[in-house]
Chain A
């Protein structure tokens, strides 16, 4: 505690910034842990349900059971687009249960799925840039505080006219605390960022696979040349 009270204004400011970075980073880590865990768990459950049910209309009625699954949102987008294409007046076909690929029906669904994927990636990656920023800048901010603190300490040594350990040590120690806090803020942020990037990559791969599967099913079941 002494090193917080005994520091100069600049070092205090540096410490406040670093503590802010640390608090927000931890909050993002907790938030993302929960979000990614739910997304993975519900996506798995949705996939299982999807392959078991095999009827789009039934799946669509129970989509609310998976509020956090990215795949459920993709399905919803794709199915909505499919319904729109099958509505009379939008597609001029003889059989209302069949869509035409001639005017880009499949492409429409593909675009809808891509948009849903992008939207989910954006949602999952939200706030992670702050973790990256903290991981890369916090050590440097801490280092700045240390350099400034050592400069002040040497000035104090010059003023006190004594170079004993009792005079030198406190200034150096209070300066080094800034680097320590910088590292304390940066290490969890970097670890969290790498962890979430890996998890989000897996979710993206899942979404791509689902998108392909959905388009295949639509083309097999609904499209006509």
Chain B
């Protein structure tokens, strides 16, 4: 007697290969969407400082001392007078008109009017003379101050530095960038290691745009590096073109205490 054995029907199961690829694509898309839509609260709007640039705009050759120095030393084209200060002129004694004689006779009208007019003319002339004298005295004193400041600054300070002999009112461009970085770094600062330090070299084009960001030195704290990067990205919105229409490159040292120039 023979027995036949039948193989039961079993439906094959497909693998997950295609669906895994689809799932991976979905995850990547969602990840980038989350980044693009700025869902993470790290990019919340931050109140931007309002910068009012009056005298501190960076220039090629900043004037001696702080920008406030420009208030005392007004532009060089002013000519100093060659003459020595004059002594104040002696005041002229004004003679009072002679006392009127008491008389019952009324004076003739035309004569009285002529006298009053001559007194007014005299007063006006006197006032003009006094004003002219005051102006001359002030001018002489101002020229003397300018002369003394100029001679003192030329003695030993280099051009463009405090106490130097720059010719323009304004500030150093590196200091200007540093101040912007300081402001934004206060918003983004975060660190995890003991003494994080990052040295960054920034290259700024002639129009004030950031063209390169290079980390020259890092202590390895990724959180701190990211904070520095975000600070630079925020600060670059407020950069003005470098003076002289040239590219500008400079290194800045970021520490938890703040930002220094390299």
Contacts and interface: CB of A to CB of B under 8 A. Distances in A.
Interface string B30-51: 0000010000001000000000
Interface stretch (A51-59, A134-142, A155-163, A204-212): A155-163
Chain A interface, >50% SS class: helix
B-side interface size class: 20 to 34
Given A27-B16, A77-B9, A166 B22 contact: no
A119 B27 contact: no
B13 A27 contact: no
Most buried by B among A6, A112, A127, A161: A6
B6 A84 contact: yes
A119 B8 CA distance: 10
Contact of A126 (B13, B22, B26, B35): B13
A127 B17 CA distance: 13
Contacts of B176: none
A127 B16 contact: yes
Contact of B222 (A5, A22, A84): A5
Interface residues of A, number: 38
Interface of A: 1-2, 5-6, 19, 22-28, 30-31, 73, 76-77, 80, 84, 112, 115-116, 119-120, 123, 126-127, 153, 156, 159-162, 166-167, 169-171
Given A1-B35, A76-B9, A162-B256, A30 B23 contact: yes
Contact of B10 (A24, A28, A84, A119): A119
Contact of B23 (A24, A84, A119): A24
A27 B20 contact: yes
B135 interface: no
A73 B192 contact: no
